[in-house]
Structures are given as structure tokens and as C-alpha cells.
Copies of this chain bind each other. A is one copy, B any other.
Amino acid sequence: MRVLGIDTSLRSTGVGVVESRGSTMTAVEHGRIHNADRLLLSECLRRLDAGIRELITRTHPDVAALEDIFFCKNARTAMVLGEARGVVIAACAASGLPVFAYEPRRIKKAIAGNGAADKLQVRKMIMALLALKDEPQEDAGDALAIAVCHLHHQTSFAALEPKPI
């Protein structure tokens, strides 16, 4: 199974494609879709949409996994994050991918065994789990963690199988 993990934001969306074969997981590709501050909102969203669709066409994932967000500082921040998140979800769904979402605690627990693990612990574990030689860019690393979390829930917790969003 091949999972596309996405760590969504308007200016820097992390992406990571992870494949599992038996008990082995491999990072097929990881990186980020970056939008410079000077770009209009509509251009940022267009680039995000095109970037996700192009990545799916090129790497053929079976499913997409995102972070679930329940809390935001304020409604304005939530609106902007929602705009980026909606584009990502629609791009995956338009490409025929089921989409799953996981709470941050669940992602950290799946990777580092502890829902309160810090970012550094999660990144070190991701590097070990995927046998990465170089440290991934921060948002790309978070995206790989989301993809691994989905694989973990598919294989270890069939009884607690997550529902698509």
C-alpha cells in the first residue's frame, strides 16, 4: 500500500509518499509545496491544487492521510488553514483517493509511542523507521509521519480502523 501524507498550510505544505511491503516501509518521495508571501491567496491555492494533483499522478498513492485539526487560535487563522485544507482534500478526492484524518496526538503516539512526544523525537523516529540518511525538511517530515501513522493504523489496529473523512 502506498500512502500520501500531507501536512497542510497555505505557505508551506509538507508532502510525503510512503510505501509498505510486508513489514518494510519506504519513503518514495517527500518535499513541500512552498508559496512565497508575495503571492495572492488565489495563486497559493491554485499552486497547492496543481502540486497535489501532479504528485498523485506521478507517484500513484492508494490513499491520502491528513492531520485532523480541532483547535485554532482564532476564526481568521482557522479560515485560512481551512482554505488550504479544503483544496488538498478536494485534489485527493478528485484523483479518486479516499482521505483519512488523524489527531496530532494519535500521529505522535503511532510514531514515537507517546502522544505528547516533541517534534524532534517524532522526526528522529521517522528517520529511523524509514531509514532516511538525511533529515527531511520539517513539513516534509511531518507529512511522512502522517503517512506512517495511517499505515500503522491499517496494520496494527484493524479493529480501530479509522473512517474516511
Contacts and interface: CB of A to CB of B under 8 A. Distances in A.
**Contact residues of A: prevailing secondary structure:** helix
**Which residue among A70, A72, A89 has the maximum number of chain B CB atoms within 10 Å of its CB?**
A89
A92 interface: yes
**Which residue among A48, A73, A99 has the maximum number of chain B CB atoms within 10 Å of its CB?**
A99
A20 to B, nearest CB: 22
Interface stretch (A26-34, A38-46, A109-117, A142-150): A38-46
Interface in A34-57: 40-43, 45-46, 48-50
> How many A residues are at the interface, by size bracket?
35 or more
A69 interface: yes
A43 B79 CA distance: 20
